A and B are shown apart, each in its own frame.
Chain A
Amino acid sequence: MQKEPLIGIGIILFHTTEKELVHIVMTLRKAMDGTEAGGWRKPLVVLADNSHEWDAEGIRRVSILTDVPLHFHPTPANGGFGSGHNHLMTCAFEKFGVTHYLCLNPDGIPHPDALVYLYEAIKYHPLPAMIEARQFPSEHPKFYDGDTLETDWCSAACLIIPQFLFELTSGFDDRFFMYCEDVDLCWRVWEAGYKCVVAPKALFHHHVASRTPNPKANQWMIESGRALASKWKTPGFQRHCERGLVKELYYKSVAEMPALKYSDLHTPHVRVDFDNGFTFSIARW
């Protein structure tokens, strides 16, 4: 008999204040109450902190304040976004028996019905699939098919990763410090014969429109684009990123840039799109 799905919500904190964390967890509590009311298993929450400002006692205090059990699993070091989530995913799947991991950014809040819609999406798709919530109010412009809901890749801001696909792919490639690790993982999922889809009714309120330019984040983005292009054997986009890194004065020359030592090179398939810049997909607008 197929096991009823159980979502484990994983959040990697990074300079998150107690006030912010309480708001996120209180919001999650409302959404988790909705899952129980809808006959789904109540998700559980696992946390790590890549800024190493939180300890177990602080998390316990938030747990008491919000009346939500929180499972804290510190990362040994800040290995980046993908590394942190791989660490939490391993804990969630091995220790808590969850069947699906929800990768959730701390700079947003889910709609109270988002978890129910994600559970419904898990049931709707017959094979394990990566399932992305729709970002709101500033929706990601990348294309998805209105009938099949398929999309070239899913943003990891609010993303369901089934245990099966985690085990199949080993999760995020932790050589990406930040950005593009979700694109890479999704392309590997497509490559393995599985799907990436959108759950359009599951909304994740994500602070995207208000982001102010951040030189470090911009550098990580371009560096990750370069690494992605190298890994997926697209030298044209790699050169485009390298020119960008020099033009924006992060490096004087390509020789100064981090070495790209990938032995696990992948051949671009139909879902791999380097023609649309960092959207990595046809854009709807």
Chain B
Amino acid sequence: MQQSTLSVILRLHTTEGNALQFLSNALLSLAGAIYAPIEVVVVTQQFSPVQIQKVEELIARFVWKDFSCARVVNYENPEKKDHRSALLNTGFDSAQGRYLAILDYDDFVYEHAYATLIEQLGRSSAAVAFGGCLIAHSTRTVHGYKVVGKSNPWEKRSDDEFLRRNIYPSHTFVIDRERLGGRLPRFNEKLSREEDYDFLLRLRFETEFDTTCRGQVLFEYPIRDDGTNTTMTENEPETSENRAAWTAARATWEPVRQLLKKHLENSKKERQ
């Protein structure tokens, strides 16, 4: 019996620098994944036809097994800013699969990551399952990036800590949208920081989180020491624009978090 399709939303902002090389690594991890079929939706931000062609040519160099496939969806918005949230919503809208996952172009997954989480969803009543993740610390050498160490900063964080801060990197979960019905939240397009935390807080209203597989490393999150990561961290340069973006993000998710705390407390009381 054919399994249900998993749509992986792969966010790509640029074709400059090493972006296409990193993207090819992400695609390799998906082409080699045990779970199939996978529908890879590469969502690009305001790419020119030439840029889109480059990405499509890269995709065509991979062999997609068992009805897996990959395609490009270009998010068109001439406003010059980081449309990271809109890219994900565009991907969700375009995705055909029952299951959803997110991947940035410079991240990758272990071969059994999705098979493990989808199997776990089958055992669970939750609509989202999380896996463990390692940070791969990389340094630039004359021959490219070299991994010099790995760490797992999330390993010892309890699930309760989620109500204080985000402990789930955005590429470490699979959502079963059939189980959610029409209640899949959208990413807040006003946010360019912590949009994933805001999304997960909203998602938590709709479903339990299955964290059974958090102790099993299924994903890697490469951090390069030359500052070329796309993920925004609080260590980014201290500018008024960046500060404003972080403040706006917090102002957006803080009320959601407070509501969620109450919601979970009430649910707990009802169960008792």
Question: Which chain A residues have a beta carbon within 8 Å of chain B's beta carbons?
Answer: 23, 26-27, 30, 34, 108-109, 111-113, 136-139, 144, 146-147, 149, 200-201, 203, 205, 207, 209-210, 284-285
Contact = CB atoms under 8 A, between A and B. Distances in A.
15 contacts: A109-B31, A136-B25, A137-B109, A137-B110, A139-B136, A144-B146, A147-B142, A200-B144, A203-B28, A205-B111, A207-B34, A209-B110, A209-B111, A210-B111, A285-B151
Interface of B: 24-25, 28-29, 31-32, 34, 61-63, 65, 108-112, 136, 139, 141-151, 217-218, 220
A284 B139 CA distance: 12
A207 B24 contact: no
A284 B147 contact: yes
Contacts of B32: 108-109, 137, 205, 207
B48 to A, nearest CB: 23
B61 A210 contact: no
Contacts of A200: 141, 143-146
Contacts of B25: 111, 136, 203
B63 A146 contact: no
Contacts of B109: 137
Contacts, number: 80
Nearest to B116: A210
A30 B62 contact: yes
Given A30-B62, A112-B61, A284-B148, A137 B24 contact: no
B113 to A, nearest CB: 9
Given A136-B25, A137-B29, A205-B29, 19 more contacts: A23-B63, A26-B63, A109-B28, A112-B61, A136-B29, A139-B147, A146-B141, A146-B142, A200-B145, A200-B146, A201-B144, A203-B28, A205-B32, A209-B110, A209-B111, A209-B112, A210-B34, A210-B111, A284-B149
Contacts of B147: 139, 284-285
A201 B18 CA distance: 12
Nearest to A139: B147
B63 A137 contact: no
Contacts of B220: 137
B111 A113 contact: no
B38 to A, nearest CB: 14
Most buried by B among A26, A30, A201, A205: A205
A128 B157 CA distance: 49
B23 to A, nearest CB: 12
Nearest to A110: B28
A111 B24 contact: yes
A112 B220 CA distance: 21
Nearest to B26: A137
B141 A112 contact: no
